[in-house]
Protein backbone atom coordinates (compact mmCIF):
# COMPACT_ATOMS: atom_id res chain seq x y z
CA UNK A 1 0.00 0.00 0.00
CA UNK A 2 2.97 2.34 0.25
CA UNK A 3 3.55 4.75 -2.59
CA UNK A 4 4.16 8.32 -3.71
CA UNK A 5 3.02 10.44 -6.64
CA UNK A 6 3.44 14.02 -7.78
CA UNK A 7 2.16 15.89 -10.84
CA UNK A 8 2.33 19.53 -11.94
CA UNK A 9 0.61 21.73 -14.51
CA UNK A 10 0.74 25.41 -15.49
CA UNK A 11 -2.38 27.51 -15.96
CA UNK A 12 -2.24 31.26 -16.66
CA UNK A 13 1.11 31.69 -14.96
CA UNK A 14 0.21 29.53 -11.96
CA UNK A 15 2.02 26.28 -11.27
CA UNK A 16 -0.50 23.75 -9.94
CA UNK A 17 1.03 20.97 -7.85
CA UNK A 18 -0.72 17.77 -6.72
CA UNK A 19 1.15 15.49 -4.32
CA UNK A 20 0.04 12.24 -2.71
CA UNK A 21 1.60 9.57 -0.50
CA UNK A 22 0.26 6.38 1.03
CA UNK A 23 1.23 4.16 3.96
CA UNK A 24 -0.23 0.93 5.33
CA UNK A 25 -3.68 0.93 6.90
CA UNK A 26 -6.50 -1.59 7.36
CA UNK A 27 -8.92 0.78 5.60
CA UNK A 28 -8.78 4.03 3.62
CA UNK A 29 -7.69 6.83 5.94
CA UNK A 30 -7.65 9.93 3.73
CA UNK A 31 -6.54 13.43 4.70
CA UNK A 32 -6.46 16.31 2.22
CA UNK A 33 -5.05 19.84 2.11
CA UNK A 34 -6.43 21.84 -0.78
CA UNK A 35 -5.62 25.41 -1.84
CA UNK A 36 -8.51 27.83 -1.09
CA UNK A 37 -9.36 28.43 -4.76
CA UNK A 38 -9.99 24.69 -5.22
CA UNK A 39 -11.71 24.11 -1.88
CA UNK A 40 -15.15 23.91 -3.48
CA UNK A 41 -13.97 20.82 -5.38
CA UNK A 42 -12.49 19.04 -2.36
CA UNK A 43 -15.27 16.45 -2.10
CA UNK A 44 -14.92 15.60 -5.79
CA UNK A 45 -11.16 15.25 -5.33
CA UNK A 46 -11.65 12.96 -2.34
CA UNK A 47 -14.07 10.84 -4.40
CA UNK A 48 -11.46 10.53 -7.18
CA UNK A 49 -8.87 9.30 -4.68
CA UNK A 50 -11.22 6.92 -2.86
CA UNK A 51 -12.36 5.33 -6.13
CA UNK A 52 -8.79 4.25 -6.90
CA UNK A 53 -7.05 3.81 -3.55
CA UNK A 54 -9.12 1.31 -1.60
CA UNK A 55 -6.81 1.03 1.41
CA UNK A 56 -3.98 2.95 3.01
CA UNK A 57 -3.25 5.99 5.13
CA UNK A 58 -3.29 8.59 2.37
CA UNK A 59 -2.15 12.21 2.52
CA UNK A 60 -3.01 14.47 -0.43
CA UNK A 61 -1.88 18.05 -1.03
CA UNK A 62 -3.03 20.41 -3.78
CA UNK A 63 -1.39 23.82 -3.88
CA UNK A 64 -0.26 26.61 -6.19
CA UNK A 65 3.33 27.76 -6.61
CA UNK A 66 4.02 31.28 -7.87
CA UNK A 67 7.04 32.58 -9.73
CA UNK A 68 9.44 35.12 -8.22
CA UNK A 69 7.67 38.09 -9.80
CA UNK A 70 4.39 37.10 -8.19
CA UNK A 71 5.96 36.65 -4.75
CA UNK A 72 6.65 40.38 -4.34
CA UNK A 73 4.04 42.27 -2.32
CA UNK A 74 2.08 44.64 -4.57
CA UNK A 75 2.14 48.39 -3.87
CA UNK A 76 -1.34 49.90 -3.82
CA UNK A 77 -0.80 53.20 -5.60
CA UNK A 78 -4.29 54.52 -4.97
CA UNK A 79 -4.00 54.06 -1.21
CA UNK A 80 -0.50 55.59 -1.17
CA UNK A 81 -1.74 58.65 -3.09
CA UNK A 82 -4.65 59.04 -0.70
CA UNK A 83 -2.30 59.00 2.30
CA UNK A 84 -0.06 61.59 0.62
CA UNK A 85 -3.02 63.97 0.03
CA UNK A 86 -4.19 63.60 3.63
CA UNK A 87 -0.71 64.30 5.01
CA UNK A 88 -0.34 67.43 2.82
CA UNK A 89 -3.76 68.67 3.87
CA UNK A 90 -2.91 68.24 7.56
CA UNK A 91 0.50 69.91 7.01
CA UNK A 92 -1.09 72.97 5.40
CA UNK A 93 -3.94 73.23 7.89
CA UNK A 94 -1.81 72.95 11.01
CA UNK A 95 1.44 74.44 9.68
CA UNK A 96 3.35 71.20 10.07
CA UNK A 97 6.32 70.70 7.73
CA UNK A 98 5.80 68.05 5.07
CA UNK A 99 7.96 64.94 5.39
CA UNK A 100 11.14 64.81 3.34
CA UNK A 101 11.18 60.99 2.95
CA UNK A 102 7.81 60.33 1.36
CA UNK A 103 8.53 56.78 0.25
CA UNK A 104 9.79 55.67 3.60
CA UNK A 105 6.68 57.08 5.23
CA UNK A 106 4.09 55.90 2.74
CA UNK A 107 5.39 52.34 2.54
CA UNK A 108 4.85 52.01 6.29
CA UNK A 109 1.20 53.07 6.12
CA UNK A 110 -1.49 50.38 6.50
CA UNK A 111 -2.58 48.51 3.36
CA UNK A 112 -0.06 50.20 1.05
CA UNK A 113 1.83 46.91 0.93
CA UNK A 114 -0.45 43.89 0.89
CA UNK A 115 -0.01 40.21 0.10
CA UNK A 116 -3.75 39.62 0.12
CA UNK A 117 -5.16 38.97 -3.32
CA UNK A 118 -8.71 38.92 -4.47
CA UNK A 119 -9.47 35.31 -5.33
CA UNK A 120 -11.26 34.94 -8.63
CA UNK A 121 -13.87 32.25 -9.23
CA UNK A 122 -12.65 28.86 -10.40
CA UNK A 123 -13.31 28.52 -14.11
CA UNK A 124 -14.26 25.26 -15.79
CA UNK A 125 -11.10 25.46 -17.89
CA UNK A 126 -8.87 25.73 -14.82
CA UNK A 127 -10.74 22.98 -13.00
CA UNK A 128 -10.22 20.62 -15.94
CA UNK A 129 -6.48 21.29 -15.71
CA UNK A 130 -6.54 20.67 -11.96
CA UNK A 131 -8.54 17.47 -12.36
CA UNK A 132 -6.10 16.11 -14.94
CA UNK A 133 -3.22 16.96 -12.59
CA UNK A 134 -4.87 15.13 -9.70
CA UNK A 135 -5.49 12.09 -11.93
CA UNK A 136 -1.86 12.08 -13.09
CA UNK A 137 -0.74 12.28 -9.47
CA UNK A 138 -2.91 9.29 -8.49
CA UNK A 139 -1.66 7.34 -11.53
CA UNK A 140 1.94 7.88 -10.42
CA UNK A 141 1.10 6.54 -6.98
CA UNK A 142 -0.58 3.48 -8.49
CA UNK A 143 2.44 2.82 -10.73
CA UNK A 144 4.64 3.03 -7.65
CA UNK A 145 2.37 0.53 -5.89
CA UNK A 146 2.44 -1.86 -8.85
CA UNK A 147 6.24 -1.88 -8.86
CA UNK A 148 6.26 -2.52 -5.11
CA UNK A 149 3.65 -5.25 -5.59
CA UNK A 150 5.74 -7.04 -8.21
CA UNK A 151 8.74 -6.99 -5.86
CA UNK A 152 6.59 -8.31 -3.01
CA UNK A 153 5.21 -11.13 -5.15
CA UNK A 154 8.74 -12.21 -6.02
CA UNK A 155 9.63 -12.11 -2.32
CA UNK A 156 6.58 -14.16 -1.36
CA UNK A 157 7.34 -16.78 -4.00
CA UNK A 158 10.86 -17.09 -2.66
CA UNK A 159 9.69 -17.51 0.93
CA UNK A 160 6.95 -19.99 0.00
CA UNK A 161 9.46 -22.09 -1.92
CA UNK A 162 11.77 -22.05 1.09
CA UNK A 163 8.98 -23.24 3.38
CA UNK A 164 8.03 -26.00 0.91
CA UNK A 165 11.65 -27.16 0.73
CA UNK A 166 11.94 -27.18 4.51
CA UNK A 167 8.69 -29.13 4.74
CA UNK A 168 10.13 -31.78 2.43
CA UNK A 169 13.34 -31.83 4.47
CA UNK A 170 11.38 -33.05 7.52
CA UNK A 171 10.45 -36.33 5.82
CA UNK A 172 13.67 -38.32 6.51
CA UNK A 173 13.70 -37.38 10.19
CA UNK A 174 10.01 -38.17 10.55
CA UNK A 175 10.51 -41.70 9.14
CA UNK A 176 13.49 -42.48 11.38
CA UNK A 177 11.99 -41.15 14.57
CA UNK A 178 9.27 -43.85 14.69
CA UNK A 179 11.89 -46.56 14.88
CA UNK A 180 13.89 -44.52 17.40
CA UNK A 181 10.85 -44.21 19.64
CA UNK A 182 10.24 -47.96 19.47
CA UNK A 183 13.88 -48.76 20.28
CA UNK A 184 13.96 -46.31 23.18
CA UNK A 185 10.83 -47.76 24.79
CA UNK A 186 12.06 -51.34 24.39
CA UNK A 187 15.47 -50.43 25.82
CA UNK A 188 13.81 -48.90 28.84
CA UNK A 189 11.71 -52.01 29.37
CA UNK A 190 14.74 -54.26 29.13
CA UNK A 191 16.30 -52.31 31.97
CA UNK A 192 13.66 -53.85 34.23
CA UNK A 193 14.99 -57.42 34.16
CA UNK A 194 12.47 -60.11 34.91
CA UNK A 195 9.44 -57.85 34.38
CA UNK A 196 6.80 -59.48 32.25
CA UNK A 197 4.64 -57.29 30.00
CA UNK A 198 2.01 -57.83 27.37
CA UNK A 199 3.71 -57.28 24.04
CA UNK A 200 0.40 -56.87 22.23
CA UNK A 201 -0.66 -54.17 24.68
CA UNK A 202 2.75 -52.54 24.27
CA UNK A 203 2.27 -52.53 20.50
CA UNK A 204 -1.12 -50.88 20.88
CA UNK A 205 0.25 -48.23 23.21
CA UNK A 206 3.12 -47.52 20.88
CA UNK A 207 0.75 -47.15 17.93
CA UNK A 208 -1.40 -44.75 19.96
CA UNK A 209 1.65 -42.78 21.04
CA UNK A 210 3.07 -42.59 17.52
CA UNK A 211 -0.29 -41.51 16.08
CA UNK A 212 -0.35 -38.58 18.50
CA UNK A 213 3.02 -37.50 17.10
CA UNK A 214 2.01 -38.01 13.48
CA UNK A 215 2.32 -34.81 11.40
CA UNK A 216 1.05 -36.04 8.04
CA UNK A 217 -2.15 -34.00 8.35
CA UNK A 218 -0.23 -30.87 9.28
CA UNK A 219 2.14 -31.37 6.36
CA UNK A 220 -0.75 -31.80 3.95
CA UNK A 221 -2.63 -28.75 5.21
CA UNK A 222 0.53 -26.63 5.11
CA UNK A 223 1.18 -27.71 1.52
CA UNK A 224 -2.43 -26.80 0.67
CA UNK A 225 -2.05 -23.38 2.28
CA UNK A 226 1.11 -22.72 0.29
CA UNK A 227 -0.71 -23.56 -2.94
CA UNK A 228 -3.71 -21.44 -1.89
CA UNK A 229 -1.44 -18.49 -1.10
CA UNK A 230 0.05 -18.68 -4.58
CA UNK A 231 -3.39 -19.00 -6.18
CA UNK A 232 -4.66 -15.97 -4.24
CA UNK A 233 -1.70 -13.89 -5.40
CA UNK A 234 -2.53 -14.85 -8.98
CA UNK A 235 -6.12 -13.66 -8.49
CA UNK A 236 -4.76 -10.10 -8.52
CA UNK A 237 -6.01 -6.91 -6.91
CA UNK A 238 -7.43 -6.57 -3.40
CA UNK A 239 -6.22 -9.83 -1.82
CA UNK A 240 -4.12 -8.42 1.03
CA UNK A 241 -6.44 -9.34 3.89
CA UNK A 242 -7.02 -12.80 2.46
CA UNK A 243 -3.28 -13.41 2.17
CA UNK A 244 -2.93 -12.36 5.79
CA UNK A 245 -5.51 -14.95 6.87
CA UNK A 246 -3.77 -17.68 4.87
CA UNK A 247 -0.43 -16.77 6.46
CA UNK A 248 -2.03 -17.12 9.90
CA UNK A 249 -3.28 -20.62 9.01
CA UNK A 250 0.17 -21.55 7.77
CA UNK A 251 1.52 -20.47 11.14
CA UNK A 252 -0.93 -22.76 12.94
CA UNK A 253 0.23 -25.81 11.00
CA UNK A 254 3.91 -24.97 11.50
CA UNK A 255 3.38 -24.47 15.24
CA UNK A 256 1.52 -27.78 15.55
CA UNK A 257 4.30 -29.52 13.63
CA UNK A 258 6.80 -28.03 16.06
CA UNK A 259 4.85 -29.18 19.10
CA UNK A 260 4.74 -32.74 17.74
CA UNK A 261 8.39 -32.84 16.72
CA UNK A 262 10.50 -34.62 19.29
CA UNK A 263 13.64 -34.67 17.17
CA UNK A 264 16.20 -31.89 17.43
CA UNK A 265 16.71 -31.83 13.67
CA UNK A 266 12.97 -31.49 13.08
CA UNK A 267 12.75 -28.68 15.63
CA UNK A 268 15.56 -26.82 13.86
CA UNK A 269 13.71 -27.10 10.55
CA UNK A 270 10.50 -25.85 12.15
CA UNK A 271 12.33 -22.80 13.54
CA UNK A 272 13.60 -21.99 10.05
CA UNK A 273 10.08 -22.37 8.64
CA UNK A 274 8.78 -19.94 11.27
CA UNK A 275 11.45 -17.43 10.29
CA UNK A 276 10.46 -17.61 6.62
CA UNK A 277 6.77 -17.26 7.49
CA UNK A 278 7.43 -14.29 9.78
CA UNK A 279 8.98 -12.43 6.86
CA UNK A 280 5.85 -13.15 4.82
CA UNK A 281 3.62 -11.83 7.62
CA UNK A 282 5.63 -8.64 7.87
CA UNK A 283 5.41 -7.93 4.15
CA UNK A 284 1.80 -9.02 3.63
CA UNK A 285 0.76 -5.87 5.50
CA UNK A 286 1.93 -3.93 2.45
CA UNK A 287 -0.49 -5.72 0.13
CA UNK A 288 -3.79 -4.24 -0.98
Pick from 92, 114, 144: which residue ends a domain?
A: 144
* 91 found inside a domain: yes
Assess whether 9 and 139 both reside in one domain: yes
* 214 found inside a domain: yes
Assess whether 134 and 100 both reside in one domain: no
* 113 found inside a domain: no
Assess whether 35 and 134 both reside in one domain: yes
This prediction has a pTM of 0.64
How far apart CA 141 and CA 18 sit, in angstroms, is: 11
Assess whether 101 and 223 both reside in one domain: no
Assess whether 32 and 139 both reside in one domain: yes
Assess whether 139 and 9 both reside in one domain: yes
How far apart CA 276 and CA 286 sit, in angstroms, is: 17
Q: What is the domain range of residue 221?
A: 147-284
The DSSP annotation for 65-79 comes to E--HHHHSPPB-HHH
Assess whether 91 and 159 both reside in one domain: no
* 116 found inside a domain: no
Assess whether 26 and 60 both reside in one domain: yes
Pick from 114, 144, 174: which residue ends a domain?
A: 144
DSSP assignment letter at 71:
H
Q: Tell me: the pLDDT tens digits for 35-89?
A: 988 999 999 999 999 999 888 899 999 999 865 555 566 778 888 899 989 999 8
Q: Tell me: the pLDDT tens digits for 263-279?
A: 788 899 999 999 999 99
Higher pLDDT, 179 or 96: 96
Q: Tell me: the pLDDT tens digits for 162-205?
A: 999 999 998 888 777 767 777 777 777 677 656 676 777 767 77
Assess whether 151 and 177 both reside in one domain: yes
* 117 found inside a domain: no
Domains identified in the chain, total number: 3
Assess whether 43 and 20 both reside in one domain: yes
Assess whether 249 and 134 both reside in one domain: no
Assess whether 88 and 34 both reside in one domain: no
The DSSP annotation for 214-246 comes to --HHHHHHHHHHHHHHHHHHHT-SS-HHHHHHH
* CATH code at position 37: 3.30.230
Amino acid sequence: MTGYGKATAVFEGKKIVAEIKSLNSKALDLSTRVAPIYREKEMEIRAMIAATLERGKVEFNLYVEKDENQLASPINGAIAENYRKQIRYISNRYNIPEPTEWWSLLLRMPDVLSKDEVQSDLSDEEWNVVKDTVSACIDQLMNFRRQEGAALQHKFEEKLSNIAELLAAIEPYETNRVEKIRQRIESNLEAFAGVNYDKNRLEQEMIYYIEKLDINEEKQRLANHIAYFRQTMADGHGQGKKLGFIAQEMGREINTTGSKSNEAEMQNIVVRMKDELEQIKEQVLNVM
